[in-house]
Structure 1
């Protein structure tokens, strides 16, 4: 098995130790943090391929930790929280989390979601063949895992990068939310539009910060497609 490195951030020792056991029994390398502040320090000192994160933490909250991490790091973040309302789930997705598992959780589901995220992160990290996609002033480079718009660099999460790549690969095609979810998440669509909507909204927001151009169009009642971009 590949030596993936996982950080577990959970202030409850019993839950933290359980998550540690789930991932280490599966063969992954794991480090534990018991507060948001400790997690932030470890994230600066070491490189991780995935983070399992509680929200209600001493020191930095989980939400604050995500905001700080997403200023430059792209590894997947899976949130596990008892704060499982729709508003809570949407909020952490907007901040940059990749997945959300409500507590109490099923051990097998946690491991399955970890493995799914790591498969995608491995692909995202350039182990697949390199390819450069260009539309107008928008450039996506798979080999260097980079995106520029108008010559300016944009830092995207794994999901945002894959959504943009999917749309750029088929610039004239309108993708439904179901199609985007199944292609990017690799899972059957469960009818939750919020997940796709939030990630597309985040992607648009990042693009708009470097250019006033419209890059992604909403086709009302259907889904999303690339706007027609001229150099």
Structure 2
């Protein structure tokens, strides 16, 4: 697991028109040590950006006036800002997820969401950008994921992974607190619509575990029964 980030003085802009959800986000993030500004529309969010610098934005898409998509376009194309953005979305379809990343989103959380998971993702994204450049290497226990070389090593030994196996490991290591369903892993690793075929993901996870076991007896992937898989703590 990565080193916990000190939240003090890290500023979060919340752009969410639902007053109840906005309040939950504000109270939860404030309790975790973040300084939060609340906006209820895309236009209000833009005004906040003009007055203050932020370390991360939590953005709903269904906003009055300037939509979340319009907000993202102005942020990335007009302001040329690289502030990390975590999108809150009620949709979970593959094409929608891909559209979010095309817009320039750094991550997405599907509604309804767990506040603890969102906070964990905020920590990860702020930590990545703290040095001013994307993290190219991730470490977990004795595993090293090199995003530049698209390689995974255990105790220095290179694992011979298929494209999908590498992608599964990458998703788990980049999101250490997230539980991925089989549908999540299939659609994000294969970039295809999931049709309910359970064996494909199970077999690939089993292959990854076996390849790791030849170099390390530690557990790296946990099964969360009835849900999916996550990185072992």
Normalising by structure 2, we get a TM-score of 0.59
**Matched-pair contact (CA < 8 Å) for 1:54–1:80:** yes
CA distance in 2, matches of 1:162, 1:89: 24
**Matched-pair contact (CA < 8 Å) for 1:90–1:194:** no
Q: How many positions carry a matched residue from both structures? A: 162
Structure 1 residue 17 corresponds to structure 2 residue 23: yes
**Unaligned 5+ residue runs, structure 2?**
1-5, 139-145, 152-157, 192-233
User: Cα offset for 1:189?
Assistant: 8.8
Report matched runs for 1:135-214 at 5 Å: 145=133, 158=134, 166-167=147-148, 176-182=166-172, 184-185=174-175, 190=180, 192=185, 195=188
2:127 is aligned, of 119, 124, 138, to: 119
Alpha carbons of structure 1 residues 195 and 26: separation in structure 2 relative to 1, 3 Å:
same
Structure 1 residue 82 corresponds to structure 2 residue 90: yes
Root mean square deviation, CA, Å: 3.0
**Unaligned 5+ residue runs, structure 1?**
126-144, 146-157, 199-231
CA distance in 2, matches of 1:182, 1:103: 20
**Matched-pair contact (CA < 8 Å) for 2:88–2:111:** yes
User: Cα offset for 1:86?
Assistant: 2.3
Secondary structure class of the residue paired with 1:43: helix
**Matched-pair contact (CA < 8 Å) for 1:178–1:189:** no
Moved more, 89-98 or 6-15: 89-98
Normalising by structure 1, we get a TM-score of 0.59
Structure 1 residue 65 corresponds to structure 2 residue 58: no
User: Cα offset for 1:48?
Assistant: 0.7
Residue matched to 1:101: 109
CA distance in 2, matches of 1:162, 1:80: 27
CA distance in 1, matches of 2:176, 2:66: 32
1:131-162 CA distances to partner (integer Å, 9 max, x unpaired)? xxxxxxxxxxxxxx4xxxxxxxxxxxx47x77
User: Cα offset for 1:37?
Assistant: 0.9
